Amino acid sequence: MKASPRNYDYSFKILLAGDSGVGKSSLLLSFISNFVQDISPTIGVDFKIKQLSVGGKRLKLTIWDTAGQERFGTVISSYYRGAHGIILVYDVTRRETFTNLSNLWAKEVDRYSTNQECIKILVGNKVDRDKERVVTREEGMALAQEHKCFFLECSAKTKENVQECFKDLTLKMLEVPSLLESGSVDVKRQILKQKQVDQMPCSGTCCSQ
C-alpha cells in the first residue's frame, strides 16, 4: 500500500529571532517535547519539524532556531525569506535583549522578510524569574504595538504560555489568504512528486510475482 502523498494541508515556516541566551532554543524544545533543560547557545541555524492540527487543518511547522550572535547575521538573513511567522524573543531580566529587538532584530525582519503579511509575535521569556524582571509587561505591549506584533509573555522553563505562543501564531497565519497560498505550495509539490513516482513504469523487479 502506498503512503498518502498528503498528510498535511499546509506547510508553514516559522523563525525564532532574538539575542543569544534569551531562550529561543528552550522555547522550541518546550513546544516540541516535554523535555526542557539548559541548552548551549545555537551555532548558526537549527530547525525542528512539528505536525499538529489547528482549526481543523493539518499543519506541518518547520521552525528555524537562529543564533543570536551578530557574526552569524549574514548567514541568517537568508532564513528570513519565505517565513510565514516570526517569533521575536527577549529576556525579561535583561533589558539589552529588549532594546536590541528594535535596534537590530525588527530591522532585520523588515529588511529580509519576503512575506509582507507574515505574522509577528513579540515574546518576553523567563517570567518564572519575576523577581529579577527589568522589563515590564506594559513596555513589552507598547513595543509590540509599535512594530505591529502580537504580544505574549512566557516561560520555557515552566512551560507557561509556550503552547499558546505557537498556537496563537498558527491561528493568525491561517487567517491570511496570502500565507495560506504560500503555505500550500510545498504540499502541491509533494503531491506532484508522489504522482510522478506513481506513474513511473514498473521495471519488473518492483512488482510481486
Output the pLDDT for position 108.
86
Q: Domain for residue 168, yes or no? A: yes
Closest CA to 18 of 91, 99, 88, 77: 88
Q: Domain for residue 94, yes or no? A: yes
Q: Domain for residue 78, yes or no? A: yes
Q: How far apart are CA 114 and CA 129, in angstroms?
A: 36
Output the pLDDT for position 78.
74
Output the pLDDT for position 167.
92
Q: Domain for residue 22, yes or no? A: yes
Taking the chain (209 residues) in runs of 10, the rounded mean pLDDT of each run is 61 92 91 59 67 88 75 62 93 97 89 90 97 98 96 95 94 93 73 55 48
Q: Domain for residue 63, yes or no? A: yes
End-to-end CA distance of the chain: 16
* CA 104 to the chain's CA centroid: 18
Distances (CA, A) of 203 to 194, 199, 200, 206, 207: 18, 12, 9, 6, 8
Q: Domain for residue 189, yes or no? A: no
Q: Domain for residue 36, yes or no? A: yes
In the chain, the number of structural domains is 1
Q: Domain for residue 199, yes or no? A: no
CATH number for the domain spanning 114: value is: 3.40.50.300
Output the pLDDT for position 79.
78
Q: How far apart are CA 52 and CA 1, in angstroms?
A: 24
Cell of 155: 516561560
Domain housing 171: 10-180
Sort 174 into a burial class: Cβ within 10 Å, 0-12 / 13-18 / 19+. buried
Helix, strand, coil percent content, the chain, rounded in steps of 5:
40, 20, 35
